[in-house]
Structure 1
Amino acid sequence: MAASLLSQAMKRCSAHTCAAVAVRRALSSGAATPSVFTRFLLKLSHYFYDVENILDWNNWLRSQAVVRKNRLFGYAQKNFGNNVAAAYYILTLRGSFRFAGQSEWFRPDSRGRFSYDFMNTPDAQIEEVDLSGTLINHNGLENLVKQNKLQTLSLRGCPEVDDWFLACLHVFGESLVELDLSHCTRITVGGLAALQNLRKLERLHISGLPRLQNPGLVRILLEEMLPHCQVTGVEYEQGLIQPDSPEQTEDHHEASTHTGLRQL
């Protein structure tokens, strides 16, 4: 194992050295002025051995961004209350919300900037939340657990929403009426089973979930588990085994008959 790792490291180092030498030769040749891209490659060669390290660095930065965006807003909760803290958390994620008893939606602009007028009603609880396409995860959900009047939650296309996140939604079991999980690529059947705790749920959207092998069957099971809930986004026949055509059935029957006669 150690020898294999050493061999891979030597190959990477060799490739890095060859690339650096090639770039330096291009810079030292007087045939033509090196391009901006060539000089950029030389600069990168000082910091990265290969493209894999660059991708790892990018993934690390993204994971840190997810952690930072989903931290608990404890200071805001302590000084301004749970409702203001929840509203601030939603807006920092570039989501939108509506307070109960109000028609106005609070949402940031295209640059992520927003008004702080929501702080004028610290006692108002949030009734509708749209976090579509945001980086919310189960840790960030802690900022919303005190919103016991939450009725509508849209998580359409949220890349960090997974089965564990769905298991944490039980805190809204007595209030949540509509839930949109469309295009959340990390959700599996196991996570959907946890929705049985949402006893007031009336509408559930589950289109575009690639980890569901039999979406039609999942819809049937969800409707049995939540009899008062309308499940949309998939058709009953999606993923189910289709019956053979009449011609195929007849041919199969004739073949079976001939086989039986030969055996007799």
Structure 2
Amino acid sequence: MFALRWVKEIGSGISFRKIIRNDYSAIRQLSGEKKVQNHPEEGQSYFESEKKLSIFKVFATKRNTYLELHKYNPMTISSERISEWKESRKREAEISRQRYIKERHAILGSDLATAHFVVYRDGKIKFKNSDNWIEKHPDEDECPELPNKYVRNLYLEAIDSSNTLIRYEGLENFINLKHLKWLSFKNCIHVDDWFVDRLSGELKETLEYLDLSNCHNLTKNCISCFYRFKKLKTLVLQNVVKNKDFEFSCMLLEDACPHVFVDNRIIVYL
């Protein structure tokens, strides 16, 4: 299509460079290319910015999500394979839901953006100089107690993400939290040694209390990560691992860091 028109236009005296430039501009317009606004407006609401996007674009992954049936051999399809495929899709959806959203942090600031991430994923938070824990009611779509615009001097002091589906990828949202002292991931099934390693790198300067009870994917290897926390006072590892190597590693941690109390009891609930 373009080649035939180029021959006619060159014959009429139009330069080839001008023809290419005009066609490139036309292709950009057809492809829907738009300029991205790097700096949001001051006082912009995070929820207002989200409403401008299609709900399908907000939660969509970058990969195509349709099932390519031509890649599957009917002779190899079984109930186990279908179950594996469902679990894989579920995992991808969870990771996508916990992804870092640059616009959220740009509009709300690091502390409030992390608060939104935690509260809207079944956790609860507490701000500095406040005694009230903020959490979203299961029957409500929004949390009215949580500001949706940037608030100066509003800092996160405590996060309770117990019993949530937080993953390694979700920790990318826990950044620049300079006042966070208390943190719990109790009963989180996806917490493992790699999770703790990333956590210790991000929150080593301020954290004083950490609860990882009933996180059964942890091993003795995670103990080496706790040496990084400079202000840690209480480390709760109840019902994590029951073996001598893990207990010995906890004893070494307390000897090396006398200011840290490690609670690694195995509690049997009757």
Q: Is the 8 A contact 1:107 1:114 kept in 2?
A: no
Distance 1:213 1:185 in 2: 16
1:135 equivalent in alignment to 2:165 = yes
Count residues in correspondence: 192
1:229 equivalent in alignment to 2:257 = no
Distance 1:50 1:111 in 2: 38
Q: Is the 8 A contact 1:175 1:200 kept in 2?
A: yes
Q: Could you tell me which residue of structure 1 aligns to residue 96 of structure 2?
A: 68
Name the SS for the 2:146 alignment partner: helix
1:122 aligned to 128, 151, 156, which one? Answer: 151
RMSD: 2.4
Q: Is the 8 A contact 2:124 2:161 kept in 1?
A: yes
Mapping of residues 206-217 of structure 1, within 5 Å:
206-210=237-241, 214-217=245-248
Distance 1:182 1:215 in 2: 14
Distance 1:111 1:64 in 2: 26
1:195 aligned to 199, 218, 226, which one? Answer: 226
1:166 equivalent in alignment to 2:207 = no
Q: Is the 8 A contact 1:205 1:233 kept in 2?
A: yes
Q: Is the 8 A contact 1:73 1:89 kept in 2?
A: no
2:208 aligned to 147, 152, 177, which one? Answer: 177
Shift of 1:52: 0.3
1:78 aligned to 106, 112, 136, which one? Answer: 106
Q: Is the 8 A contact 1:152 1:176 kept in 2?
A: yes
1:93 equivalent in alignment to 2:121 = yes
Distance 1:195 1:66 in 2: 27
Post-superposition Cα deviations, 1:232-262, rounded to whole Å, max 9, x if no partner, equal 1327xxxxxxxxxxxxxxxxxxxxxxxxxxx
Shift of 1:218: 2.6
Q: Is the 8 A contact 2:162 2:184 kept in 1?
A: yes
Question: Larger Rg: 1 or 2?
Answer: 1
Shift of 1:115: 1.3
Q: Quick check: which one's helix share is greater?
A: 1
Q: Mean alpha-carbon deviation: is it higher for 148-157 or for 72-81? A: 72-81
Distance 2:108 2:244 in 1: 46
1:54 equivalent in alignment to 2:82 = yes
Give the letter aligned to residue 127 of structure 2.
F
TM score, norm. by length of structure 2: 0.64
Structure 2, gaps ≥5 residues long: 1-71
Give the letter aligned to residue 64 of structure 1.
E
Shift of 1:227: 1.4
1:112/1:203 CA distance change after superposition, 3 Å:
farther
Q: Is the 8 A contact 1:138 1:165 kept in 2?
A: yes
Distance 2:137 2:190 in 1: 23
Post-superposition Cα deviations, 1:14-49, rounded to whole Å, max 9, x if no partner, equal xx9xxxxxxxxxxxxxxxxxxxxxxxxxxxxxxxx4
Q: Which has the higher contact order (CA 8 A, sep 6+)?
A: 2
Shift of 1:73: 2.2
Name the SS for the 2:125 alignment partner: strand
1:94/1:218 CA distance change after superposition, 3 Å:
same
Distance 1:212 1:111 in 2: 42
Distance 1:112 1:95 in 2: 14
- Runs of 4+ residues deviating >6 angstroms: none
Q: Is the 8 A contact 1:126 1:150 kept in 2?
A: yes
1:103 aligned to 121, 131, 149, which one? Answer: 131
Q: Could you tell me which residue of structure 2 aligns to residue 146 of structure 1?
A: 176
1:136/1:225 CA distance change after superposition, 3 Å:
farther
Q: Is the 8 A contact 1:187 1:211 kept in 2?
A: no
